[in-house]
Homo-oligomer: A and B are copies of this chain.
Amino acid sequence: MNPLQSLARAALAVLSCAAVAAPPPAKPDASPIYGVTVPEGYRRWELVAPALESAPLNELRAVLGNPRAIEAYQRGRLPFPDGTVLVKLAWKHEPSKEFGAALVPGAATTVQVMVKDARRYPETGGWGFGRFVDGKPADLAQHQTCFACHAALVKDRDYVFTRWKP
């Protein structure tokens, strides 16, 4: 290694250490309160179950889960382990153009994310929440409603509404 290479390597080491020590960079696409982002590749995750939301929302929905979520569902044990991520896709529903007795997904509305990390989110049952519209997080007020509703209605299911359906 020549002196220039040595210098470059030393500089790289310092930069790496600095990167580790520095606070994480700001995430403009992270949710208020929780700092949750839309997980990469979620659209390829396995289906937990679909649902329909009645008026006034009139939405079709589908919850997908990462491998850890699916494994936990299939073992049927609560609480979900750290690393569980659930994503709910939602669309306005509309009659099928070809088969009027069916409602099918129309315009996408929200993507909603739950991330389990017991140490990071001790005050909200171990869950972080994110609600996104066109990939951008909804406002603070909307994120203030997430946990209250989950805690009031499904605390005994580890704060998760959706059941896995075979």
Contacts and interface: CB of A to CB of B under 8 A. Distances in A.
Given A47-B64, A103-B52, A153 B108 contact: no
Given A163-B104, A165-B105, A51 B46 contact: no
Contacts of A153: 98-99
Which secondary structure characterizes the binding site on chain A? strand
Given A108-B165, A153-B98, A61 B51 contact: no
Contacts of A89: 165
B54 A50 contact: no
A96 interface: yes
A102 interface: yes
Given A54-B101, A98-B153, A47 B62 contact: yes
B105 A54 contact: no
Nearest to A67: B44
Nearest to A44: B46
Interface of A: 43-44, 46-47, 49-54, 57, 60-62, 64, 89, 91, 93, 96, 98-99, 101-105, 108, 153-154, 157, 161-163, 165-166
Given A57-B101, A98-B154, A104-B163, 16 more contacts: A43-B46, A43-B166, A49-B62, A50-B61, A50-B62, A51-B96, A52-B52, A52-B103, A54-B103, A62-B62, A98-B161, A99-B161, A102-B161, A104-B162, A108-B165, A108-B166
